[in-house]
Structure 1
Amino acid sequence: MSDFVPQMSQAMLNRRTFLYTSAAAAGAVMLGSCSSGTPSGSKETKAPTGGSTAKGSETKPLSKPAKFNEAPMLADMVKSGDLPPIEERLPENPYVIPHKWAQPGKFGGQALLISKPGTGGPVDGSVKEFMYGYSLLRYLNDGLDIGPGLVESWESNDDASEWTLHFRKGLKWSDGEPWTTADIMFWWDDMVINEDHSDVPPDEARSGKGTLAKFTAPDDTTLVLTFDAPTPLTADRLAMWVNGTVGNGPKWMAPRHYAEQFHPKYNKDVAKDWAEQGKEFELKVDWSRNPDCPTMTGWKLKTLNEGRSVVYDRNPYYYVVMPNGDQLPYLDQLNFSMVQDPEVGKLQAQQGKVDYIQGQFSDIGLADISTMKNAESTSQLDVILWDGGSGTSSMFFFNYDHKDENFRELIREPKFRQALSLGVNRTEIQKALYFNTGELTTGTLSPKAIEYLVNDEGKTVYKQWRDSFVEHDVEGAKALLDEIGVVDKDGDGFREFPDGSKLTVRLDFPADTDDEHKSKNQYLVADWKEIGIKATQNPVAPEAFGDQWNAGELSAHSAWEVGDGPNHLVYPQWLVPLEPSRWAPLEGQMYNVRGTPDEKKQLNVDPFDRTPPRMEPDPDGPIQKLWDLYDQTKVEPDEMSRHQLVWEMVKIHATDGPFFMGVVANTPRVILAKKDLGNVPRKENLALGGFANPWIHPTPAVYDPETYFWQKPEEHEI
């Protein structure tokens, strides 16, 4: 069977190459006209419906509107006495939408959306990526800038060891109860610090030394975070994620007035059976699963039919308005249908049964553009392309801490990894899977990262990493393998370990991974055969993958991408091993326990037998160097000095890497939006053309879908 698999893979590869290349001819014609929604042959740039061709977002807060306007359904509730006037529902200074492309819209109607079934819970995380209402601060201009959110203004002391956050006065939960800093202190004291709960301290609550901040709330709208060391990235990290619920970032707050009744500290009846009630508490304070839980998002949960649908209604107390005073959201309702079969979702889109699809959360990709364009007259969907911002597209990386000593020694030899990178024909993969979009890359963090855009030196450092081992050089790859003694000793056409034992590169991946990654793996198998390396694909049960990887039992990971940004330090786990899920799991786990009692335990035990498995880095090796540089960045208050430290880490990747390998960077994401859905930005409206892939730069939340509106709301009534 082992001899048959590569032959079958090659046959599948040849057929897939033909099919994709044929499709690329049609798809490439479509790509050029999709991002603006401009009809083929048109010379006019089509702006977002009801919008403008303006680019980017204002970086300074906009002035408070002179008056406020509200949805007719809310105005009726005010007249009937069921709702306070809008002036009493909004904070003293609402958040005013700063996006230059967003224009005044119309109130009313619902949007029909689709999502994947929930993973790790009844609601898929993608549903919550539409709502940025819990963010203390907000990313603007594709992460280049940070603006206010719930926090109206903020400052730090000179060494960034103390941060003072001033929240908007008069904020209210969706049930009309006042929001105060007591809601943050409840989360911190009674859910994070209290070990009976599952919440853990977020990164932004730790100092540069890794110790927890001290939280104090001098009054209802002021929060002070005091650290034992400079913590200059606090503002950046407060803008990450959408926050507020399970997954998608930390909660950062909970409605104390509602949650106390379910907490044993405040309700003694609950305390009698906390082992069982604790699970119930987590549900009760999750606004994405419990319709009764108050929220700070633009829409509040109405109904959840697990595995089938989730519906959100407008929040009458949402604290965000348009510059003309319109209280958001414009849409009355978001109605998500959960689709099990990706092909069913595509068919629904073609038939016009879906109003909006956010590409990175669906199975609609570049290969579907031609089909969607052909169905445009029926679907009434514009095909829009935003930049994804990936640094790799589908990637590959070895387990640097592999349990087998012989294999681990080879994996840690840079020339072995460099040879395999040179052996990849990225141009063919770019053509077949990505329709000639993006830029060829060895594999980096996102090319949109601030460190690469700040000046010419940053641009040069990025290109050095991107191009370090990107060339398809079969003879160069063979020469490197010969140099380290990885040669064909038994004459079977495949190279062996230096000691003569059989060598097979196993491409491990979770069995439920997307076809994109499996297709890319087929190319790797074929390309590496050309340089004498035998490779096979190995699906692993998804529930077992993480534990096996962390223990060094898997050889390689081949089903992820690197999309992180907007700077290297807010989420640096690809740049430097800090935890076990990436390219050096045992060393990452060792960093993860630094400063804890576990750091000094089991040092006389084999690293793979420790609990959890963990390993010290070579004191003279690249990981120790990366750790040392990263530790400096955590306490460096000067931004340019931090950039320079990041560049030094990048140079280690360019010389001692690749520690992970990509194919192409910054491939587009497909967005589908009904033609009469206004304020959906096009690529030319966005500061960097979009930054859709990273969850820490939550998309579309950063572009405020609450501004989306129907030109004719009456045609989309609930």
Structure 2
Amino acid sequence: MITRRTALAMLASTVLPPRLLAAGTEAEALAPLVAEGKLPPLNERLPKTPRVINVAARGRTAGKYGGEIRSLIGSAKDIRLMTVYGYCRLVGFDEELKLQADVLESYETVEDRIFTLRLREGHKWSDGTPLTTEDFRYCWEDVLLNEDLSPAGLPTALVMDGEAGKFEIIDERTVRYSWTMPNPDFLQKLAAPQPLIIVMPSAYLKQFHKKYQDEDKLKATMKEERVKKWSQLHMRMARSYRPENPDLPTLDPWRNTTPLPAEQFVFERNPYFHRVDENGLQLPYIDKFVLNVSSSSLIPAKTGTGESDLQAAGIDFVDYTFLKDAEKRYPLKVKLWKKTQGSRLALLPNLNASDPIWRPLLQDVRFRRALSLAINRREINMAVFYGLTKESADTVLPDSPLFRPEFANAWVAYDPDQANSLLDAAGLAKRGSDGIRILPDGRAAQIVVETAGESTLETDILQLITDYWREVGISLFIRTSQRDTFRSRAVGGEIIMSMWFGIDNGVPTANMNPGQLAPTADDQLQWPVWGLNYLSHGEMGEAPQLPPVVELLDLLKRWRHSSTDAERTEIWKSMLSIYTDQVFSIGLVNASLQPIVVSSKLRNVPEEALYGFDPTAYFGVYNPDTFWLEQDT
């Protein structure tokens, strides 16, 4: 039996009456451009059916135009945060983490195999060029299927068991993607904080493509941009997730106006943005987002002296007391949102370590369980988090419908006696005169834990764990290295263990991809070589042989072929059970709190919310385009 599900773009009762659309007024920042004829009037810039955000229905207040938001970033690369914050997607999650159309007017799925996407009539890119089915065709045929631009082939989400999806243009506003088997990952990837790209501004990008551009003009542009290949030129100009090219048209609420290099990036409102509030005012309310580059170590101090109007990046719970005290001196407020990570910080044993002694030891579940049992999480919670977190394995939070207490409690009880017994059984019964266990090759059992050292939180916790592990005969040393070097060192097997965050999405539903519980990427520090193998479709890295890991990948494959919520729920629970029982990540505490610092004039920022990269896109699902500033009177 064919099941059919249709999702319309508008929320309940959000079809905008024609009188409200006509009543929509221009933002003051755009009015002069309209008056001078440099910009069409509002009703010519909006789609025929804009997406309506009913602000009042969300318990917030309809806003006013104007002002700028200042925020601090640790490096120029972090301008990608604006793509996450803006959270403009073909389909996206709402605050309840349910999918709905956003850029699309509507979408329809048949058996999770056939996806029909309908565009809004009159929708335009930020430069005023129409958003059309040609933009989808160009991305599919001229970019994703082009060997120069996509040497690794189609993204994983577009390939099912070696079968590439089929792309069709149905009519001037409708495209279709289809497979012969279910692909439950497709819509989820479109809604991701770092989304699957299936549409590009073709009218702009064709000037950098050898198929469409005159060879001499293309070579001249390549020389100007100092690249040797046309593919490098196209990739640089087309990069949308990290919007470094100010000329690249966007659909986001704000567009970058600042070329590299720079210490300050100014994002101005997109005059063609497709969302409006219930009163017909085009969003965003805020005119500008200004990102100021600062040393990461200085971000908390600068935030506490009022140099940011909206800040979460670069600050942590350890800064809360200082920031809260700053409320007395500066016009700012500190809110606390719950982090969505499966563990605030986790120890990740590298099962792909190149050391021939450590690798089999790290792959021995008795060893991983022992290290977990040797940690006094209650003491860490009280000493570092003031008892405000939940001692837990690295798993989903109670906010997720997939939560089970047995997952959270797996191998987290403080039990040094059982830890000692497991270490003995794992072949480490012999100890040196200092009490440290001896490895089979005669070396002392010294684990170097690598950390990015971006917060004193990491070193504070590792100092406590050093004492716990010494009690069971394991020596711990801390090594700080740059975040950017983590992946290459881990893939090269140079890292034995690292401290990083737990699973990204601690609030999943059964319809979200469980790939975070299996080796699916080379930046998963507990199994990067296996993840690289998955990512490259077997072309690179190594395939895992460890039975529980093989089972996780088999279950993931089953999920990718699933077509019912019940089946997906069962698969998720099996994967969570294996992941926590095998202690592939040594979780510590979760449900920790993230300080959110906002200007006292900034409105519509929720008092309490979930905070994380996936799936909430940090601020994204709470629509920063509806945040607004109370102006001085």
1:332 aligns with 2:332: no
Whether the 8 Å CA contact 2:450–2:495 is kept in 1: the answer is no
TM-fit CA distance, 1:557: 1.9
Whether the 8 Å CA contact 1:446–1:562 is kept in 2: the answer is no
Cα distance, 1:392–1:226 mapped onto 2, change above 3 Å = same
Whether the 8 Å CA contact 2:10–2:101 is kept in 1: the answer is no
Q: For the residues of structure 1 that align with 2:481 and 2:295, how far apart are their CA atoms?
A: 21
Deviations 1:97-155 (A, max 9, x none): 15513321111111222111124xxx54223322122x110111252x11111112111
SS at match of 2:450: strand
> TM-score w.r.t. structure 1 length?
0.79
1:652 is matched with which residue?
578
Deviations 1:230-269 (A, max 9, x none): 112322222112xxxxxx3444322111221222111122
1:674 is matched with which residue?
599
Whether the 8 Å CA contact 1:389–1:447 is kept in 2: the answer is no
Whether the 8 Å CA contact 1:421–1:469 is kept in 2: the answer is yes
SS at match of 2:577: helix
TM-fit CA distance, 1:372: 2.0
1:664 aligns with one of 577, 589, 592: 589
Whether the 8 Å CA contact 2:511–2:565 is kept in 1: the answer is no
1:110 aligns with one of 48, 51, 68: 68
1:101 aligns with 2:59: yes
1:92 is matched with which residue?
48
Q: For the residues of structure 2 that align with 1:628 and 1:660, how far apart are their CA atoms?
A: 19
1:551 aligns with one of 479, 492, 506: 492
Q: For the residues of structure 1 that align with 2:334 and 2:426, how far apart are their CA atoms?
A: 49
1:482 aligns with 2:436: no
Q: For the residues of structure 2 that align with 1:202 and 1:664, how far apart are their CA atoms?
A: 38
2:303 is matched with which residue?
349
Q: For the residues of structure 2 that align with 1:419 and 1:428, how far apart are their CA atoms?
A: 18
2:39 is matched with which residue?
83
SS at match of 1:385: strand
TM-fit CA distance, 1:694: 2.1
Q: Which structure 2 residues correspond to residues 1-400 of structure 1 after superposition, within 5 A?
A: 60=12, 62-66=14-18, 67-68=20-21, 69=24, 70-98=26-54, 100-119=58-77, 123-133=78-88, 135-143=89-97, 145-158=98-111, 160-197=112-149, 205-241=157-193, 248-268=194-214, 269-272=216-219, 275-286=228-239, 288-304=243-259, 306-343=261-298, 345-357=299-311, 359=312, 361-362=313-314, 364-400=315-351
SS at match of 1:484: helix
2:529 aligns with one of 559, 562, 586: 586
Q: For the residues of structure 2 that align with 1:579 and 1:77, how far apart are their CA atoms?
A: 46
Q: For the residues of structure 1 that align with 2:590 and 2:53, how far apart are their CA atoms?
A: 31
Cα distance, 1:651–1:375 mapped onto 2, change above 3 Å = closer
Q: For the residues of structure 2 that align with 1:258 and 1:486, how far apart are their CA atoms?
A: 63
1:617 is matched with which residue?
545
2:502 is matched with which residue?
561
Q: For the residues of structure 1 that align with 2:69 and 2:496, how far apart are their CA atoms?
A: 44
Whether the 8 Å CA contact 1:97–1:323 is kept in 2: the answer is yes
TM-fit CA distance, 1:441: 0.6
The unaligned stretches of length 5 or more in structure 2 are 1-8, 223-227
1:693 aligns with 2:612: yes
Q: For the residues of structure 1 that align with 2:418 and 2:255, how far apart are their CA atoms?
A: 58
TM-fit CA distance, 1:552: 2.9
Q: Which amino acid aligns with 2:83?
A: K
Q: Which amino acid aligns with 2:528?
A: P
Whether the 8 Å CA contact 1:208–1:631 is kept in 2: the answer is no
Q: Which amino acid aligns with 2:415?
A: D
1:525 aligns with 2:466: yes
> TM-score w.r.t. structure 2 length?
0.89
Deviations 1:154-192 (A, max 9, x none): 11223x221111121110111222111211221222222
Whether the 8 Å CA contact 1:302–1:313 is kept in 2: the answer is yes
SS at match of 1:383: strand
1:493 aligns with 2:444: no
Query: Runs ≥4 in structure 1, deviation > 6 angstroms?
Result: 199-202
Q: Which amino acid aligns with 2:438?
A: E
Q: For the residues of structure 2 that align with 1:61 and 1:632, how far apart are their CA atoms?
A: 38
Whether the 8 Å CA contact 1:203–1:237 is kept in 2: the answer is no
Q: Which amino acid aligns with 2:103?
A: L
Q: For the residues of structure 2 that align with 1:518 and 1:212, how far apart are their CA atoms?
A: 46
1:47 is matched with which residue?
none
Q: For the residues of structure 1 that align with 2:178 and 2:372, how far apart are their CA atoms?
A: 45
Q: For the residues of structure 1 that align with 2:238 and 2:434, how far apart are their CA atoms?
A: 62
TM-fit CA distance, 1:406: 3.1
TM-fit CA distance, 1:282: 3.0
Q: For the residues of structure 2 that align with 1:370 and 1:199, how far apart are their CA atoms?
A: 49
TM-fit CA distance, 1:401: 2.7
Deviations 1:561-597 (A, max 9, x none): 3222534774534311223332223333443444x6x
Cα distance, 1:640–1:429 mapped onto 2, change above 3 Å = same
Cα distance, 1:586–1:81 mapped onto 2, change above 3 Å = closer
Q: For the residues of structure 2 that align with 1:301 and 1:178, how far apart are their CA atoms?
A: 20
TM-fit CA distance, 1:419: 1.1
Whether the 8 Å CA contact 2:306–2:331 is kept in 1: the answer is yes
Q: For the residues of structure 1 that align with 2:129 and 2:94, how far apart are their CA atoms?
A: 29
1:640 is matched with which residue?
566
Q: For the residues of structure 1 that align with 2:237 and 2:79, how far apart are their CA atoms?
A: 18
The unaligned stretches of length 5 or more in structure 1 are 1-56, 242-247, 599-611, 684-688
Q: Which structure 2 residues correspond to residues 409-558 of structure 1 after superposition, within 5 A?
A: 409-449=360-400, 453=401, 458-459=402-403, 462-497=404-439, 499=440, 501-509=442-450, 511=452, 513-540=454-481, 544-558=485-499
2:6 is matched with which residue?
none
Q: Which amino acid aligns with 1:646?
A: W
Q: For the residues of structure 2 that align with 1:296 and 1:665, how far apart are their CA atoms?
A: 35
Q: Which amino acid aligns with 1:708?
A: F
Whether the 8 Å CA contact 2:276–2:282 is kept in 1: the answer is yes
TM-fit CA distance, 1:469: 0.9
TM-fit CA distance, 1:379: 1.7
Q: Which amino acid aligns with 1:617?
A: Q
Q: For the residues of structure 2 that align with 1:236 and 1:573, how far apart are their CA atoms?
A: 12
Q: Percent identity?
A: 26
Q: Which amino acid aligns with 1:110?
A: E
Whether the 8 Å CA contact 2:450–2:498 is kept in 1: the answer is yes
